[in-house]
Amino acid sequence: MKTPTAGPPAAAVPVLEMRSIVKTFPGVKALSDVSLTVAQGEVHAICGENGAGKSTLMKVLSGVHPHGSYEGEIRFRGENCVFKDIRASEARGIVIIHQELALVPYLSIAENIFLGNEHATRGFISWNETLRHAAVLLDRVGLREHPQTRVADIGVGKQQLVEIAKALSKKVELLILDEPTAALNDEDSAKLLTLIKELKGQGISSIIISHKLGEITEVADSVTVLRDGRTVETLDVRSGSTTEDRIIRGMVGRDLDHRFPERTPYEGDPGAHPALEVRDWTVHHPIDQHRKVVDHVSVLARRGEIVGIAGLMGAGRTELAMSVFGRSYGRNISGTVLKDGKEIRTRTVSEAVRHKIAYVTEDRKQYGLNLIDTIGRNISLGALDKVSRRGIVDEHEETRVAESYRTSMNIKTPTVFEQVGRLSGGNQQKVVLGKWIFAGPDVLILDEPTRGIDVGAKYEIYSVIDRLAAQGKAVVLISSELPELLGMCDRIYTMAAGRLTGEVPRAQATQEVLMRHMTSDKR
């Protein structure tokens, strides 16, 4: 009697299948027949331009958009799932960490980890058990902080690790990370990516949404590309043939031959007075007034020039920009600001704006926009006097101005009466830029202007910046992305620990040179 031969091994059941997902908002189909499959122990990336539907898809998966509000099917470990809210998805082992971290700053790390999931008996919390378990989780994510440390007293990179520890406390099987490194420096980003790989080794699957394609090709096993709310393709990164350019082609539907617009390098009159000059600028920390966050820094920008400022987190770049712009940050500020060779006062934001200096903040949601108001209202806020008569806003003129910026800056929305909070990140950033361009500045300080937006929207914003310089504006560009500074700037200043450590002309600038200056202990 023959022994029966074994057949081929059964295919492993995917940890997740999302089949033909359709999600519609009033007047907009955000997702149209989107499908996604994630294998066990896989790091699966989702890429796409802003507004492609990435975050919406993850909100469907995590129960933020509950079952019944969308069409299609979700299967987790082979079982059909109908999540009515986020607690239902977490109970099944699916945990999402949003780009805006959901931590309470004035509670301790341990309290945040177990918030809503406390170690309690008959309504009484066991603090010994809470601290012991928190310490185990912090060790697992590699965070060397005491569990009783306040979240407000640790940096953003460490807060990301607290979020992951919180997810692990819920026995996570599928971890969703939405732009996890958007606000992190290179060192903290590298640590986080290493942790994602370690979790993969422990059998935890991950979905990562990111616009940083270099990180995607480093950490992901597969990439699903979305475009206009549809699944375009899924690429196998492990094959070695999936490059950044290949992902971009899927995202934008064409080859993007150049990441930056071609521009003629600055060739102005070096003898002319700079549009903006800051001399011997010193700023103290608003709480610890003995600590200098900007220490005797001198910089200048000429008309028609794009000047970069590079530095690691904590270098003092944003503190420099905000303190110059109406002393929006810091205490005991000293130094001199000159515009076109004449000393000016910028003690308040109104004074800075009157001198035609504008500042585009790195935090567009908190400081750059009124998210519950319309596109038109947000754009006019930079110069209300231009759309007002005798103190009353001319709504027709306001709408006409907003429409002109919607068209010229390619803000993707059918109407300027749309609420800004409903726009994608890239389109929100265009509104912020439009607001300050409408104000008619001579000097435009841009702080992380492309953070958290896709390559297509980045190119459009780079083109706007290039046009402003060509019109004779002086542009100061602060960025954590060295390729961005190298691709756009005529000169680049470097900062470390609040001090200026270098000034590098375009012809001599490389990532290695900039990083050497950025890590210098020069005093």
The confidence score (pLDDT) of residue 8 equals 43
Q: In whole angstroms, what separates CA 422 from the centre of its chain?
A: 17
To 5 degrees, how large is the angle CA 465–CA 469–CA 472? 145
461-486 pLDDT, tens digit per residue, is 898 899 899 999 999 999 988 888 99
The confidence score (pLDDT) of residue 352 equals 92
Identify residue 520 by its one-letter amino acid code: S
The confidence score (pLDDT) of residue 254 equals 58
The confidence score (pLDDT) of residue 255 equals 54
Tell me: pLDDT of 272 over 90: no
Give the DSSP per-residue string, 140-165.
Answer: HHT--S-TTSBGGGS-HHHHHHHHHH
Comparing CA positions, the residue from 485, 479, 483, 467 lying closest to residue 409 is 467
Q: CA-CA distance, 38 to 174, in Å (whole number)? A: 9
Distances (CA, A) of 260 to 78, 154, 405, 451: 45, 35, 22, 15
Q: Which residues does 471 contact at the CB level (< 8 Å), separation at least 6?
A: none
Q: CA-CA distance, 97 to 135, in Å (whole number)? A: 20
Contact 21, 71 (CB under 8 A): yes
Q: CA-CA distance, 158 to 476, in Å (whole number)? A: 29
Tell me: pLDDT of 19 over 50: yes
Q: Provide the strand spans (E) within 48-166.
A: 71-76, 79-81, 94-97, 120-121, 124-125
Q: CA-CA distance, 72 to 203, in Å (whole number)? A: 27
Q: In 3-state terms, what secondary structure has residue 32?
A: strand
Q: How confident is the model at residue 257 (pLDDT cuts 50, 70, 90)?
A: low
Contact 321, 478 (CB under 8 A): yes
163-193 pLDDT, tens digit per residue, is 889 888 988 899 998 888 876 767 778 888 8
Tell me: pLDDT of 264 over 90: no
Contact 174, 94 (CB under 8 A): yes
- For the chain, give the number of residues: 523
Comparing CA positions, the residue from 324, 312, 58, 83 lying closest to residue 208 is 58
The confidence score (pLDDT) of residue 117 equals 81
Whole-number percent of the chain with pLDDT over 70 = 95
Instruction: Please list the alpha-helical segments (H only) found in 142-253.
Output: 156-169, 186-201, 213-219, 244-252
The confidence score (pLDDT) of residue 10 equals 44
The confidence score (pLDDT) of residue 152 equals 87
278-303 pLDDT, tens digit per residue, is 999 999 988 777 888 999 999 999 99
**What mean pLDDT do residues 241-264 have?**
76
To 5 degrees, how large is the angle CA 137–CA 142–CA 147? 50
DSSP secondary structure letter of residue 4: P
Q: Provide the strand spans (E) within 431-486.
A: 443-447, 474-478
Contact 485, 479 (CB under 8 A): yes
**What mean pLDDT do residues 197-201 have?**
90
Please give the mean pLDDT across all residues of the chain. Answer: 87
Written in H, E and C, the secondary structure of 492-514 is EEEEECCEEEEEEEHHHCCHHHH
Domains recognised in the chain with CATH numbers: 16-252 (3.40.50.300), 276-356+441-518 (3.40.50.300)
Whole-number percent of the chain with pLDDT over 90 = 40
142-171 pLDDT, tens digit per residue, is 888 899 999 988 877 788 889 889 888 988
Look at 227-236, 357-366, 514-523 and tell me which has the smallest mean pLDDT. 514-523
What six digits make up the tokens of 111? 């309290």
Q: In 3-state terms, what secondary structure has residue 125?
A: strand
Q: How confident is the model at residue 1 (pLDDT cuts 50, 70, 90)?
A: very low
The confidence score (pLDDT) of residue 63 equals 93
401-458 pLDDT, tens digit per residue, is 888 888 888 888 888 898 888 887 778 888 988 888 888 899 999 998 887 777 777 8
Tell me: pLDDT of 81 over 60: yes
What is this structure's pTM?
0.65
Q: CA-CA distance, 141 to 246, in Å (whole number)? A: 33
Tell me: pLDDT of 259 over 60: yes
Q: How confident is the model at residue 28 (pLDDT cuts 50, 70, 90)?
A: confident
The confidence score (pLDDT) of residue 9 equals 44
Q: CA-CA distance, 326 to 348, in Å (whole number)? A: 4
